[in-house]
C-alpha cells in the first residue's frame, strides 16, 4: 500500500508542471486593432505583453513553469475578433484571451469565452453592462477600472463638499463613445442628484454661448472631451464670469492619455494668459499612478520598442497609458491565478477555477497595486489635479480617491476655497420690510388678523339679518 501511495505521488508530480518543474505551454490569443489611432493598438500594447512575458518566463511570481505563446489577431472591424476566435478554436481553443477593448467587439468574444469556459481579461469593456457576470460574461475579468468606478470619485466629492447638481458635458463620437460611457456611469450612480446632459457632436463646431447658457442651473460642470474643446469652453466660461467660485469645473482625463481633457492650457497663442486664469478654476480627474523605479524602466522600454519598430504614424506610441499598463498586468494576474489553481490540482483548461482565483485579490502591477473585486472588476484609484501655482500655471495632485475602501484623501496641496461655491441658486427670501416699525412677520400677523376680523363681522351681520327675517316671518304667520 505505501508503494502505491508513492507511485501515485510520483505520477502526480510528473503530470503537474508546477510540481515537476516542467514548462507548461500557454496559448494566448490577443485581440488588438492594427489602426494606430487607437490608444490600445497592437503597436502600443504588444511591447508591454512581451515585457511581461519575459518577466514571467524568467521566474517572476513563481511562473517560470509557464511558456506563453502570444498570437495576435486584429480587432479593427466589429466582428473580426469574434470570427477569428471561432476559426482558431475549431482546431484548438486558447488557454487565455486578452482583449478586445472596444465594447462592441468585446461583447461577442466575452459571450463565447464564457460558453467555452476560457478565461478572458480585457483592459477595456468598461461599460456598465459588462458588470453582469452571472451568465454571459462569467469569464470576463476587467483589469482596468470600469467607468462607474470613476463615478465613485465624483460621488465622494459631492458628498464631501455638499454640491447638489451637475451638468455632464461630453463629446459624442457615435463610434467608440468613450465619453458617453464614462458619464453614463456618473449619471446612474448619482441618480439622486439633479443632473442634466449636454452632448457635443464630434466634428461639429462648438457653440460656446449655448454651452455656457446650459450651465446656469448646475453647480458643478463635468466635462469629457478633447483638450482643445475644453480650453475653448473654459475661456468662454471665464469671459462670462462663471469661474472663481461661481461654478466648480472638472475635466476627465481618460486612460492617462493626452488625447482627452488634460489640464494643459498653453497653446502659445494670444489666449494663453486668459486661459491660464480660466484653468485656475479647472480640476482634472485622472487615474492614480504611483511612481516606481520599475515603472520608469518600463516606460523607457516602451518608448524604445516603438522607435525600434519604426512606427511613425502612431502618436505617442511610446507613452504608457491605461491600456498598456493593464495588458501587462493581465499577464501577471493570470500567471498567479493559474499557478495557484494548478497547485491545487486543477488543469489550465478549467477556466472557471482559474478565473475565480483572479477575482477578489490584489497583486503588484507595473505602476502600483492592482486590486480586483469579488465581481472580477478592478477597483479604481483616482487623483484630482488642480492648479496650485497660478503664476506658473502648474498642476499637481490635491486629492486621491481609493476604490478599495471608498475613501477620499485630501493632500497637503489641497485648498478648500477651490471646491467651495461662492453662490447658491436658492429661492430668495422676502426682503425685510418696515411698516410702522414692524417686521415682515408682525405685519403679516396684523393683516391676517384684520382679514379674520372683517370676515367675522360680515358673518355676524349676515346671520343677524337672517334672524330678523325669521322673526318677521313668524310674526306674519301668527297674525294670519
Other Cβ atoms within 10 Å of 334 Cβ, number: 29
User: Residue 431 pLDDT more than 60?
Assistant: no
Segment 199-207 long-range contacts (CB within 8 Å, at least 24 positions apart): 199/170, 199/171, 199/172, 200/169, 200/170, 200/171, 200/172, 200/225, 200/229, 201/171, 201/172, 201/174, 202/171, 202/172, 202/173, 202/174, 206/232, 206/233
pLDDT tens digit string along 205-260? 999 999 999 999 999 999 999 889 999 999 999 999 999 889 999 999 887 665 55
pLDDT tens digit string along 75-100? 988 899 999 999 998 889 999 999 99
Pairwise CA distance, residues 204 & 352, whole Å: 47
Of 234, 217, 222, 236, whose CA–CA distance to 190 is shortest? 222
Share of the chain above pLDDT 90, in %: 59
Residue 38: predicted pLDDT: 87
Residue 351: predicted pLDDT: 97
Residue 262: predicted pLDDT: 55
User: Residue 331 pLDDT more than 90?
Assistant: yes
pLDDT tens digit string along 32-41? 999 888 889 9
Please name the residue that has the C-alpha cell 450651465.
215
Strands 195-201 and 220-224: unpaired
Residue 315: predicted pLDDT: 53
Residue partners of 102: CB distance under 8 A and separation at least 6:
75, 124, 176
Reported confidence tier of residue 317, pLDDT bands at 50, 70, 90: low
User: Residue 356 pLDDT more than 50?
Assistant: yes
Amino acid at each position: 500500500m505505501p508503494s502505491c501511495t508513492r507511485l501515485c505521488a510520483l505520477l502526480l508530480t510528473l503530470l503537474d508542471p508546477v510540481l515537476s518543474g516542467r514548462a507548461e505551454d500557454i496559448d494566448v490569443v490577443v485581440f488588438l486593432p492594427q489602426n494606430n489611432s487607437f490608444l490600445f493598438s497592437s503597436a502600443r500594447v504588444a511591447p508591454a505583453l512581451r515585457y511581461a512575458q519575459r518577466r514571467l518566463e524568467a521566474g517572476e511570481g513563481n511562473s517560470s513553469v509557464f511558456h506563453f505563446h502570444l498570437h495576435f489577431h486584429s480587432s479593427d472591424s466589429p466582428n473580426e475578433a469574434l470570427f477569428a476566435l471561432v476559426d482558431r478554436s475549431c482546431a484548438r481553443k486558447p488557454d487565455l484571451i486578452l482583449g478586445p477593448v472596444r465594447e462592441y467587439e468585446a461583447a461577442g468574444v466575452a459571450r463565447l469565452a464564457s460558453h467555452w469556459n476560457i478565461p478572458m481579461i480585457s483592459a477595456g469593456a468598461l461599460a456598465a453592462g459588462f458588470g453582469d457576470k452571472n451568465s454571459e460574461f462569467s469569464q470576463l475579468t476587467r483589469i482596468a477600472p470600469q467607468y462607474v468606478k470613476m463615478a465613485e470619485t465624483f460621488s465622494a466629492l459631492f458628498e464631501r463638499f455638499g454640491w447638489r447638481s451637475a451638468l455632464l458635458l461630453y463629446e459624442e463620437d457615435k463610434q467608440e463613445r468613450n465619453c458617453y460611457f464614462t458619464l453614463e456611469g456618473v449619471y446612474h450612480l448619482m441618480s439622486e442628484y439633479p443632473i442634466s446632459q449636454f452632448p457635443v457632436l464630434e466634428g461639429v463646431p462648438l457653440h460656446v454661448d449655448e454651452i455656457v447658457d446650459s450651465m446656469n442651473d448646475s453647480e458643478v460642470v463635468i466635462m469629457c472631451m478633447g483638450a482643445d474643446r475644453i480650453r475653448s469652453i473654459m475661456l468662454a466660461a471665464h469671459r462670462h464670469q462663471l469661474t472663481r467660485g461661481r461654478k466648480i469645473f472638472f475635466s476627465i482625463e481618460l486612460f492617462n492619455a493626452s488625447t482627452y481633457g488634460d489640464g494643459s492650457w498653453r497653446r502659445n497663442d494670444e489666449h494663453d494668459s486668459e486661459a491660464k486664469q480660466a484653468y485656475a478654476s479647472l480640476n482634472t480627474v485622472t487615474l492614480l499612478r504611483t511612481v516606481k523605479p520599475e515603472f520608469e524602466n518600463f516606460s523607457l522600454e516602451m518608448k524604445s520598442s516603438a522607435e525600434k519598430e519604426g512606427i511613425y504614424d502612431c502618436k505617442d506610441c511610446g507613452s504608457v497609458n491605461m491600456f498598456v499598463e493593464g495588458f501587462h498586468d493581465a499577464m501577471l494576474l493570470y500567471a498567479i491565478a493559474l499557478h495557484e489553481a494548478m497547485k491545487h490540482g486543477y488543469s489550465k483548461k478549467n477556466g472557471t477555477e482559474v478565473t475565480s482565483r483572479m477575482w477578489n485579490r490584489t497583486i503588484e502591477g507595473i505602476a502600483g497595486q492592482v486590486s480586483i473585486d469579488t465581481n472580477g472588476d478592478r477597483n479604481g484609484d483616482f487623483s484630482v489635479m488642480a492648479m496650485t501655482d497660478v503664476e506658473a500655471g502648474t498642476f499637481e495632485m490635491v486629492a486621491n480617491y481609493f476604490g478599495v475602501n471608498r475613501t477620499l484623501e485630501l493632500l497637503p496641496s489641497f485648498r478648500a476655497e477651490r471646491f467651495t461655491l461662492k453662490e447658491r441658486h436658492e429661492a430668495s427670501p422676502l426682503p425685510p420690510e418696515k411698516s410702522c416699525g414692524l417686521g415682515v412677520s408682525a405685519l403679516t400677523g396684523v393683516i391676517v388678523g384684520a382679514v379674520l376680523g372683517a370676515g367675522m363681522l360680515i358673518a355676524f351681520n349676515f346671520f343677524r339679518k337672517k334672524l330678523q327675517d325669521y322673526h318677521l316671518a313668524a310674526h306674519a304667520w301668527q297674525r294670519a
